[in-house]
Amino acid sequence: MSRQPLRLAILEAERLLSSAGVASPRTDVELLAAHLLGVERTKLMMVPLVDPPVVEALYELVRQRAARVPLQHLTGTATLGNVTLSVGPGVFVPRLETELLFEWGLAGLEGVDNPVVVDLCTGSGILALALAEARPDATVHAVEKDATALSWARRNANERAQAGDTPIRLYAGDVADSMLLLELEGLVDLVVSNPPYVPDGTPVPPEVGNHDPHEAVFGGRDGLDVVRHVVACAARLLRPGGHVAIEHDDTHGGSVPAMLAARRVLAGAEEHTDLAGRPRFATARRADPGASV
């Protein structure tokens, strides 16, 4: 069997994904090819020819992607910061927007030695583990109520600890529980959360609607059911000067900052946009230690 040009296989696969309505067909094909070949995407040009079975395997992955199976389910991984973690059926697939939340949270820890961090609704654990990798001196606590998601988070936490990262502390818990992490009340430097926030009934892409767990995506009639509990929990956990950052739906640009500002112990509520200019996460800091939550 004669070897075949990888470039031509990628072009044909890109055409198939584009016809299927995949938003980023070239990127997805290249990532699938890199995964299949065990190389970095930037090194694909160094693999000009491949054997026919490789092309067939690539087209099989592309057929699944064209059927709108999430890219991360096909590669089995998702990346945030400097960490790449395992994801798959039963756990929410992290989105690119969360990178901005991670970067803001990391900046909020500058100048803080041995910070205490809490990640609420951790899912696969990716945000907590990315922060732990970037700040080895941090004590990172991560909370998740769904048993399947928590099993993914435990798997990822174990793998990162074996790789040498500072271990995180995982909890099975619900942000609606007013006793959650009671021992950390008033001691936390940073609270981050990417909670379920899509309003019920909102049309979502097939990758989300058919593959992400419903309870990890939708947050009630207005999408804010879980966010309200996250705000209350953050206000209780933060120390004076501590920061909170919450990812939200792009329809919540006014709602979440207002929710944070309504807490008398929180100050400086601010909205932040994603790279497309859409409001995607809100932040605040713990101010007056004498005010009531």
In this predicted structure, the answer to whether residue 290 has a pLDDT above a threshold of 80 is: no
The fraction of the chain above a pLDDT of 70, given in percent, is 98
The class of domain 4-67 in CATH terms is mainly alpha
Query: pLDDT value at position 291?
Result: 52
CA distance 279 to 6: 39
The answer, as to whether pTM is greater than 0.85, is yes
Residues 110-139 have pLDDT tens digits of: 999 999 999 999 999 999 999 999 999 999
Ligand-binding annotation for 144, yes or no, is: yes
The C-alpha angle with vertex 34 and arms to 30 and 39, in degrees rounded to 5, equals 145
CATH architecture, range 78-286: 3-Layer(aba) Sandwich (3.40)
In this predicted structure, the answer to whether residue 182 has a pLDDT above a threshold of 70 is: yes
| Contact in structure between 36 and 28 (CB atoms under 8 Å) | no
| Contact in structure between 64 and 81 (CB atoms under 8 Å) | no
Give residue for tokens 């790279």. Answer: 275
DSSP output for 95-162? -TTHHHHHHHHHHHTTT-SS-EEEEES-TTSHHHHHHHHH-TT-EEEEEE--HHHHHHHHHHHHHHHH
CA distance 246 to 86: 23
Closest CA to 106 of 190, 165, 230, 186: 190
Ligand-binding annotation for 159, yes or no, is: no
Ligand-binding annotation for 70, yes or no, is: no
Ligand-binding annotation for 59, yes or no, is: no
Same CATH fold, 78-286 and 4-67?
Answer: no
Ligand-binding annotation for 82, yes or no, is: no
How do the domains of the chain map onto residue ranges?
4-67, 78-286
Average pLDDT over residues 23-35: 96
